[in-house]
Amino acid sequence: MPRTAIYPGSFDPLTNGHLDIIHRSMGLFDRLVIAVASNVRKHPLFDMSERIALIREVVGHDARIEIDTFDGLLVEYAQRKGAIAVVRGLRAVADFEYEFEMATMNRRLAPTVETVFLMTHESYFYVSSHLVKEVAMLGGAIDAFVPPAVARRLNARMGELRAKPA
Ligand code: PNS
């Protein structure tokens, strides 16, 4: 049986930190499903199809990686996919409380789905989609934090937003 893991998130947009976690996960599991959450509470900058297209462009074709969307409960989705684990990236102490709460709730809901935390490379400890969007919005350089395809799309998006009449 191939060992499948789910890597869920908003990916609004994919960062180098996410990509680092994807590569690390592939060393541990046979299959990885990158699952883009459609019911995110926050209002996303990129719609679902844009987020998926960017992930696809960056990850390229790899038969072991599936890119999908999900709504509803993550653990139910993970079980439908036959996954043994949910992967989450941990950057620093600040992530811990939120991640600990989610993992504990998910374990209560589905005791057989393990949450596996992977540490991002230390170069990405401070990189988050949220901060990258803020830097881009204020005209800062984001090339060190996101893959080139994402930087192009993000800069173009910010240009569109700035050009919009208030
Ligand atoms: O990248 P994010 O935004 O931190 O990802 C959060 C996500 C999408 C993994 C989380 O919000 C989630 O699992 N949502 C699905 C709904 C769900 O299962 N909620 C109960 C989990 S405690």
Q: Is residue 129 part of a domain?
A: no
Q: What is the separation of C-alpha 134 from the centre of its chain, rounded to a whole number of angstroms?
A: 17
Residue 10 confidence (pLDDT): 96
At residue 47, the pLDDT reads 94
Q: What's the total number of domains in the chain?
A: 1
For residue 117, give both structure tokens. 């935390």
Cα(46)–Cα(42) distance, rounded to whole angstroms?
11
Please indicate whether residue 106, judged by its CB atom, sits closer than 6 Å to ligand 1. Answer: yes
Question: What per-residue confidence (pLDDT) applies to 35?
Answer: 98
Which parts of the chain sit beneath pLDDT 50? none
Residue 43 has a pLDDT of 87
The boundaries of the domain holding residue 101 are 4-124
Please report, in angstroms and rounded to a whole number, the separation of the first and last CA atoms in the chain.
Answer: 55
Interhelix angle for 148-163 vs 48-59, to 10°? 150
The residue assigned the tokens 């998910």 is: 106
Segment (H or E) for 116: strand 114-119
CATH number of the domain bearing residue 32: 3.40.50.620
| Residue 57 covered by a domain | yes
73 lines ligand 1 (CB under 6 A): yes
The pTM of this model reads: 0.95
pLDDT at position 161 is 87
Residue of the nearest CA to atom 6 in ligand 1? 9
